[in-house]
Amino acid sequence: MGNEAPIAEDAAPVADFAALRESEKFRTLKRRHRSFVFPVVIACLLWYVAYVLLAAYAHDFMSTRVFGSVNIGLLLGLAQIATTFIVTTWYVSYANKHLDPIATEIRDSVEIPEALTDKAGR
Amino acid sequence: MLYMEAASSAPGNPILNIGIFLGFVAITMIIVFRASKNNNTAADYYAAGRSFTGPQNGAAIAGDYLSAASFLGIVGAIAIQGYDGFLYSIGFLVAWLVALLLVAELLRNTGKFTMADVLSFRLKQRPVRIAAATTTLVVCFFYLLAQMAGAGGLVSLLLGIDDKLGQSIVITVVGGLMILYVLIGGMKGTTWVQIIKAVLLISGAAVMTVWVLALHGFNLSALLDHAVATANNPAILDPGLKYGVSDASRLDFLSLGLALVLGTAALPHVLMRFYTVPTAKEARRSVVWAIWLIGIFYIFTLVLGYGAAALIGAEAIAAAPGGANSAAPLLAFELGGPLLLGLISAVAFATILAVVAGLTITAAASFAHDIYASVIKKGKARPEDEVKVARRTVVVIGIVAIVGGIGANGQNIAFLVALAFAVAASANLPTILYSLFWKRFTTRGAVWSMYGGLISAIVLIAFSPVVSGSPTSMIPGANFALFPLSNPGLVSIPLAFFLGWIVTVLDKGVESPEKQAEMEVRSLTGIGAEKATKH
């Protein structure tokens, strides 16, 4: 049956995507993307689930006072916020350095002919 | 003692509260009118011409995400239940990493206006679009109900309107205003309302946070001691006050945590915001800004929650009209008198307005773009007609929200929001991830996963203690609570992932390999991605 209701494609397919996917550059990009995001997301979710489990089942541990009235639970909660900020910053610098340049290269190799007539759009 | 008066009637000066709120409405209306000049095409109406910058969109995302439930709800939960209230905000924040790392940029690169654009990219249009539009409308509906019901509760607190009729009138006014914003302003107007609201909300919370800390010599430990002294219960610093009572409540907490952390990246109104920026890189920047703003805001709510516990006390808060939701307004009154209360109240109203507007435009876009233009007109609808249908849908959804909000007035807001998260995480997330990252994934797998997640989440809710079987249920008289947890996520999310996987593996059909290659290349490189419109 295929796609029975083609959505008004305002631009015809711009490239031979199957060939692009097999290209060395794209494979590098895909490998770099997945080898970063998958382990990092899994690690962050495990860290979060560990925190939730501790909060649900290890009350005594979480209630241990560290300084003044500040306990481990509160510090671990703030640590979750801190790791979220750190991972965000880490990903942005990784993407700027290792993902964006190669993605731009691949895109330009396909879109340059168009870009000449459509400079303002970039 | 000021707060004792405050607890017996609505605190502050209702006229002042209304005045500040009207000021907000007037200013945003002017901005919405100015922003609406170029709302001609579908890209303008649904995606603001893709012309917002990352930081602007990040602020709008924060404005969209920090709903009344998270501002009033979390401060109140911390003030009364202590540490367990704090746990909500952690889940709400960590969830953004899933959106940042797995969804935002890839979605911006492959879609146009709605979540269904991405899900149906390489699968069969019709069944997948219908399923995605259905889950979008259901999630938006629950979220809308929560906000509208919250408006009713807020009114009773801020304006001293206790009777149902008065509250219903106010819900109608809020709904009417929202229809006006979305009808005229489209996504551009909605975005500006959300940006202004985010700035007001976060700066208001910042002022109060510094104030509370200053009263305690900028010593967090001293603030906590004060909260313990007022509550006369050191347990408010420890986990377990709300979720530690039984085995079921611990599992319930796990279930809630799972829904929160996996729901955000699948909320249709959040996903739609990624289309309002010109490139995937700006989509990334918007999430980064959103994460910082939301994270900092949740740190503020921690201080405000314990501040309210210390300065006002859990008992006085629980006794005030509006209950736990009144903690933040009461704290504002305690600190800065009627003026600060008026400001914070206006911000809270603005919050509801902005979130409701964002939900409405998402639901309208999904109906007009996915159901009308793609399914009914088979992709041959004229863009003007599509926008016309979207505008009419806005009015219909607005009316449904008003009626539903009046009906849901008095229901537990946090529960409705958590339900929306659970449905989003079950019905949408598996299909989003599979279609982006799993080559083999098929139409049949997508349809089974979406409907399976949606139906299991709703059925489990219907048979949960939230609906029947306990004095706080929706139907306290009956008892058909066969499922012990009040949040379905622990069962329905893994089930939806499993269904998507098993049905695909058993499915002998294959999807178009060309489309799959195109989606994979486009999602990572941005080739052929929708550009910003030029005016």
Per-residue pLDDT reduced to its tens digit, B410-444: 666 667 787 899 999 999 999 999 999 999 999 99
Mean pLDDT across A67-92: 94
**Are B519 and B121 within 8 A, CB to CB?**
yes
Compute φ and ψ for B53, nearest 5 degrees. Answer: -85, 165
Mean pLDDT across B323-345: 86
Under an 8 A CB cutoff, do A6 and B96 touch? no
First to last CA, chain B: 58
CB of A18 within 8 Å of any CB in chain B? yes
The token duo for B475 is: 């139907």
Please give the angle made by the CA atoms of B176, B181 and B187, to the nearest 5 degrees. Answer: 140
Q: What is the pLDDT of residue B506?
A: 94
Q: For chain B, what percent of residues have pLDDT higher than 70? A: 96
For residue B311, pLDDT over 60 is answered with yes
CB of A107 within 8 Å of any CB in chain B? yes
The per-residue pLDDT of chain B, averaged, comes to 87
Chain A residues 39-98 within an 8 A CB cutoff of chain B:
40-41, 44-45, 48-49, 51-53, 55-57, 59, 62-63, 67-71, 73-74, 77-78, 80-81, 84-85, 87-89, 91-92, 95
Q: What is the pLDDT of residue A10?
A: 47
User: How far does CA A46 lie from the centroid of its chain?
Assistant: 16
The token duo for A58 is: 């290890």
Mean pLDDT across B215-220: 91
Q: What is the pLDDT of residue A8?
A: 41
**Are B96 and B291 within 8 A, CB to CB?**
yes
Residue in this structure with the two tokens 């502050």, named with its chain if needed: B12
Please give the angle made by the CA atoms of B142, B145 and B147, to the nearest 5 degrees. Answer: 110
> Which residue would you say has higher pLDDT here, B91 or B147?
B91
Q: For chain B, what percent of residues have pLDDT higher than 90? A: 44
From the candidate CATH numbers 2.40.160.40, 3.40.190.10, 3.10.150.10, 1.20.1730.10, the one assigned to the domain spanning B2-28+49-525 = 1.20.1730.10
Which residues of chain B does A51 touch, with a Cβ-Cβ cutoff of 8 Å? Answer: 90
Least CB-CB distance to A81: which of B93, B253, B522? B93
Minimum Cα–Cα distance from B227: chain A residue: A69
**Are B2 and B334 within 8 A, CB to CB?**
yes
The pLDDT confidence band at residue A119, using thresholds 50, 70 and 90, is very low
Nearest by Cα to B186 from B351, B37, B65, B55:
B37
Strand partners, A70: A67
Nearest by Cα to B533 from B32, B31, B39:
B39
Under an 8 A CB cutoff, do A73 and B238 touch? yes
Q: Give dist(CA B269, CA B280) in Å, integer.
A: 18
Strands (E), B402-482: none
Under an 8 A CB cutoff, do A68 and B224 touch? yes
The CA distance from A31 to the nearest CA of chain B, in Å, is 11
A17-31, B9-23, B375-389: least confidently modelled range: B9-23
For residue B308, pLDDT over 70 is answered with yes
The CA distance from A80 to the nearest CA of chain B, in Å, is 7
Q: Give dist(CA B401, CA B522) in Å, integer.
A: 37
Under an 8 A CB cutoff, do A100 and B224 touch? no
Nearest by Cα to B270 from B145, B351, B358:
B358
Under an 8 A CB cutoff, do B83 and A55 touch? yes
Q: Give dist(CA A29, CA B321) in Å, integer.
A: 56
Domain ranges of chain B: 2-28+49-525
The CA distance from A76 to the nearest CA of chain B, in Å, is 10
Q: What is the pLDDT of residue B27?
A: 87
> Which residue would you say has higher pLDDT here, B1 or B284?
B284
The CA distance from B249 to the nearest CA of chain A, in Å, is 9
The CA distance from A77 to the nearest CA of chain B, in Å, is 7
Least CB-CB distance to A14: which of B126, B528, B532? B528
Q: What is the largest CA-CA distance in chain A?
A: 68
Compute φ and ψ for B400, nearest 5 degrees. Answer: -60, -40
* DSSP H or E stretch at residue A65: strand A65-67
Q: Give dist(CA B329, CA B336) in Å, integer.
A: 10
Which residues of chain B does A103 touch, with a Cβ-Cβ cutoff of 8 Å? Answer: 524-526
Taking CA atoms, A83 is separated from A51, A75, A97, B287, B486, in Å, by 12, 12, 21, 16, 29
Helix/strand/coil for B119: helix
Under an 8 A CB cutoff, do B124 and A1 touch? yes
For residue B374, pLDDT over 60 is answered with yes
Least CB-CB distance to B87: which of A3, A40, A55? A55
Taking CA atoms, B165 is separated from B46, B155, B162, B413, in Å, by 35, 12, 9, 20
Q: What is the pLDDT of residue A109?
A: 87
Under an 8 A CB cutoff, do B291 and A55 touch? no
A95-104, B22-31, B317-326, B516-525: least confidently modelled range: B317-326
Nearest by Cα to B350 from B206, B192, B162, B211:
B192
Q: Give dist(CA B38, CA B184) in Å, integer.
A: 11
Under an 8 A CB cutoff, do A71 and B243 touch? no
A36-45, B201-210, B472-481: least confidently modelled range: B472-481
Helix/strand/coil for B239: coil
> Which residue would you say has higher pLDDT here, A24 or B405?
A24
The pLDDT confidence band at residue A28, using thresholds 50, 70 and 90, is very high
Minimum Cα–Cα distance from A78: chain B residue: B299
**Are B201 and B298 within 8 A, CB to CB?**
no
Contacts of residue B315, Cβ cutoff 8 Å, sequence gap at least 6? none
Residue range B123-146, pLDDT digits in tens: 998 999 999 999 999 999 988 888
The CA distance from B187 to the nearest CA of chain A, in Å, is 21
Please give the angle made by the CA atoms of B434, B266 and A38, to the nearest 5 degrees. Answer: 50
Nearest by Cα to B68 from B408, B288, B325, B358:
B325
The CA distance from B534 to the nearest CA of chain A, in Å, is 8
Which residues of chain B does A40 touch, with a Cβ-Cβ cutoff of 8 Å? Answer: 97, 101
User: How far does CA B76 lie from the centroid of its chain?
Assistant: 18
Minimum Cα–Cα distance from B381: chain A residue: A8
Nearest by Cα to B204 from B324, B314, B320, B350:
B350
Contacts of residue B150, Cβ cutoff 8 Å, sequence gap at least 6? B67, B68, B69, B72, B325, B352, B413
Helix ranges (DSSP H) in B72-163: 74-81, 83-98, 104-110, 115-119, 125-158
Q: What is the pLDDT of residue B535?
A: 59
Minimum Cα–Cα distance from A37: chain B residue: B101
Nearest by Cα to B94 from B262, B281, B252:
B262
Minimum Cα–Cα distance from A11: chain B residue: B528
Please give the angle made by the CA atoms of B446, B451 and B452, to the nearest 5 degrees. Answer: 95
For residue B482, pLDDT over 50 is answered with yes
For residue B364, pLDDT over 70 is answered with yes
Of the residues A27, A32, A84, the best mutation for testing chain B's interface (the one with the most B CB atoms within 10 Å of its CB) is A84
Helix ranges (DSSP H) in A15-99: 17-22, 24-57, 59-62, 72-94
Which residues of chain B does A43 touch, with a Cβ-Cβ cutoff of 8 Å? Answer: none
